[in-house]
Each structure stands twice: as C-alpha cells, then as structure tokens.
Amino acid sequence: LFSAVEMAPRDPILGLNEQFNADPNPNKVNLGVGVYFDDNGKLPLLECVRQAEQTLMAAPKPRGYLPIDGIVAYNQGVKALVFGADSEPVQSGRVVTVQALGGTGGLKIGADFLKKLNPTAQVLISDPSWENHRALFSAAGFDVGTYAYYDAERRGLNFAGMLKSLRAATPGSIVVLHACCHNPTGYDLDAGQWDQVIEVVQSRGLIPFLDMAYQGFGFGLAEDGAVIQKFVATGMEFFVSTSFSKSFSLYGERVGALSVVSRSKDEADRVLSQLKIVIRTNYSNPPTHGGSIVVGVLGNPELRALWERELGEMRVRIKSMRQRLVDGLKAAGVQQDMSFITRQIGMFSYSGLTKEQMVRLRNEFGVYGTDTGRMCVAALNSKNIDYVCKAIAAVV
Ligand code: LMR
C-alpha cells in the first residue's frame, strides 16, 4: 500500500519550525512562522487570557459536544468584532458565523462550501500570498491563479497591476483578499484603493473572500477591520475568515471563524445548514476550551479593555522593532535603503532577500525566515536584533 508513497516536501512555513528546533546553534532566531514573541523572546500568555482562564477553572464544566457551528456566544463575539453588534447585517440576521479551527479552518470551511456551490470557479490569490492559500484552495479542488499585487522594484504595491488582473478575471471567480497586514508583503491597500478594488470586484461579479488573521496588528481593531464595513456597504455577498491565534496569543487553541454575508436571513439560514454539513463531515464540531476563553474576554468589559491594551502593546512593539531593524541594518553596514521596512504593516517584512540569501542566513547564522524573503518582525527583540542585523549584512 505504501511502497509508492513519495516523501512530501516540508511545509514552507511550519516546516521551518522543525528545522529550527533541531538546530543546535545557540544564537538561532526564528523569524519564520508568524508568531509574536515578547522582548524576552517568550510567547506571551496575555493577562486577559490568564484571568479568563482562571474564571473558567474556578467553576469547571463538563465537556459535552458543542453545537456543530460552535459556541453561540463565541460566534456572536466574532460578529460583533468583525461587523459590529448593532450593524445591519448582524441585526437582520443575514450574516452567519461558525467557529472554526483557526483562520485556516475558516478558509477551509469556506473553500469546501464554495466548491459545492461553484465547482468550476477559479480562485485568485495575490502574487505573492500566504503560502497556504494556494495549497488550501488547490486541496479543496480549485484551480488557483494569481492577481498582481507586489512591485518588487519599487518596494510596494503594484496597484495598477492588481486592478488590471481583477478586471480580466472571469465572472464568478473567487478572489482571496487580505483585509489587513498583508501576508507576506506587509503592504496594504489604502481606503481609496479599496474602494476601487471593491468597484471592480462588484462590477466583474467576483466573489470576495477576505482573510483577516491579523486584525489589530496594523493600526487598531476598528481601523484594520474598516474594509469589512466597505464590503457590507455594497450589499454584496462575501466571506470573511478570522482568527484569534495572533490577537489573543492563543495559537495552539485553534480559535478562528468563518463568517458568510448573504443577502437575506432566509439565505443565511440555508447557508448555515450547508456549512454545518461541511464541518460535520470534516471534524464534527469544534473544541471547547479556546473558544470559551475568547468568550470570557470579549464578554467582560474589563477583560475586553485589557485585551485591547495588550494587543496595542504588541502592535507598538512590532513597530518599534521595524525602526530598530532599519537603523541596525544601516549600522551593520547595509548600503541599500531599507526604510521600506517601516512602511510595511503587521507581523511581517518582505525583505527582498533572495532564496540563496535566506538559505545562507539559516545555514550560517541560524536566522530563519521563509525562502521567499519573509521575516517575522514580531519575533525580533532587543537581545537578538543586533545579531540578526549583522547576519543580514553578511549575506546581502
Ligand atoms: C504564518 O503565515 O506564518 C502564519 O499564518 C502561521 C501559519 O499557519 O502559516
């Protein structure tokens, strides 16, 4: 049975963790996966999470099965955060939200549902995009293409190219858009550019699928989620996958969601019935713990305020590391202007380094980033920054 099974390549992002863990270099730095570490290089346990968990543990509950679509209060919390509790789509019942296994799980539920709805549609992802977008939508059976996004020469957005690609897309194509903190480039659209993209998406009859895994890491929760309001305002049907992995530092709890905005409550009810089949036939129903923590924080005004403060601290620290990286690279002798790093937003910097340079960084210095040149700025700290700058200076 297994004699012809081929060895699959390592995952381009999570596979780096395996390599990193096995690396004996005492100076090694993991800038591969998108995970926030504090200035001591530690994965934070947020105080709001600790307190919510303590409350849960003070009154332990038996663990029955959750409903297929997850904890009701969790889904309400996601709707409130993403759309606004009093917003028209939430109030009218035309948006459905299901708890999912991280943002990836939300994408997968949406992909499987879309495959049933429109099996021949093409999926378009940005060029470049999160490594797993292509793999995930291909695994769901879609043909995956790209739309222009990044301008390597000018270090920024190829906005004209993006509009051109979207205008040329076949009606009915599914367009995966990064709501904020574009992964991997760190370059986002501004409000006016979003308006133009939305106009094209609408006039071409494309199906928007927004991936919002980093809400709060750009400019703030409301600012980063503003594009959702723009889509709502059009009255279009669309998908949004969201995640608390990063914003709550709850990576391993797999706390994400998929929200689908329909045209009416009646449509939304039917959509939900189909999403439940997708979930039931994949993993039956989601786990209880992580979702309960999120409910405990979002549903308690004090913990909610604490969460926003802690999220703000993470955001500010990442920004300060961007500046230190630019300054440190200059001090380490890098000639080229690296100030573009401070124009990027979110956890990542698309450094422009080549695959060969990234491999050298890994092999000679134990500094891990993806082969595409993406580095997780959120894993830099005051202790490793000089080392990383010197290592980069040595390979460029
Ligand atoms: C990343 O891009 O590094 C994160 O979204 C983690 C992952 O699952 O790839």
Q: Report pLDDT digits (tens) over 223-242.
A: 999 999 999 999 999 999 99
Question: Interhelix angle for 102-117 vs 131-139, to 10°?
Answer: 40
The domains of the chain, with CATH numbers, are 14-45+314-395 (3.90.1150.10), 65-299 (3.40.640.10)
- The atom of ligand 1 lying closest to the CA of 33 is 3
Residues in the chain: 396
In the numeric block, the tokens 């001090």 are attached to 331
Mean pLDDT score, 347-357? 96
Cα 283 to Cα 69, 112, 252, distances in angstroms: 11, 13, 17
Ligand 1 near 33 CB (within 6 A): yes
Please state, in angstroms and rounded to a whole number, the distance separating the CA atoms of residues 15 and 11.
Answer: 4
Cis status, amide bond into 184, omega within 30 of 0: yes
Ligand 1 near 130 CB (within 6 A): yes
The whole-angstrom distance between residue 320's C-alpha and the CA centroid of its chain comes to 21
Q: Which amino acid is at 318?
A: I
Q: What is the pTM of this model?
A: 0.97
Burial class from Cβ neighbours inside 10 Å (0-12, 13-18, 19+) for residue 335 reads exposed
- For the chain, the C-alpha Rg in angstroms (whole number) is 21
Ligand 1 near 348 CB (within 6 A): no
Give 105's pLDDT tier (boundaries 50, 70, 90): very high
Instruction: Report the nearest-CA residue for atom 6 of ligand 1.
Output: 34
Catalytic residues: 130, 211, 246
Find out whether 241 and 107 touch, Cβ atoms under 8 Å: yes
Q: How far apart are the first and last CA of the chain?
A: 47
Task: Examine the predicted complex and report whether its ipTM is higher than 0.90.
Answer: yes
Q: Output the pLDDT for position 208.
A: 98
Q: Output the pLDDT for position 7.
A: 96
Residues of the chain with pLDDT > 90, as a percent, come to 100
Mean pLDDT score of the chain, rounded to an integer? 97
Q: Which residues lie closer than 8 Å to 205 by C-beta, 6 or more apart?
A: 171, 172
Mean pLDDT score, 154-163? 96
Q: Output the pLDDT for position 91.
A: 97
E strands along 226-313, which residues? 238-243, 255-261
Ligand 1 near 369 CB (within 6 A): no
- The atom of ligand 1 lying closest to the CA of 11 is 9
Give 201's pLDDT tier (boundaries 50, 70, 90): very high
The token duo for 291 is 């979702």
pLDDT in tens, 36-68: 999 999 999 999 999 999 999 999 999 999 999
Please state, in angstroms and rounded to a whole number, the distance separating the CA atoms of residues 14 and 34.
Answer: 10
Give 306's pLDDT tier (boundaries 50, 70, 90): very high
DSSP 150: E
Find out whether 274 and 288 touch, Cβ atoms under 8 Å: no
Give 354's pLDDT tier (boundaries 50, 70, 90): very high
Residues of the chain with pLDDT > 70, as a percent, come to 100
Q: Output the pLDDT for position 57.
A: 96
The token duo for 61 is 């509950």
By DSSP bridging, strand 255-261 and strand 348-350 are unpaired
Please state, in angstroms and rounded to a whole number, the distance separating the CA atoms of residues 160 and 162.
Answer: 5
Q: Output the pLDDT for position 183.
A: 97
In the numeric block, the tokens 């995952």 are attached to 11
Ligand 1 near 34 CB (within 6 A): yes
Give distance in angstroms: CA of 115 to centre of ligand 1. Answer: 23
Give distance in angstroms: CA of 160 to centre of ligand 1. Answer: 28
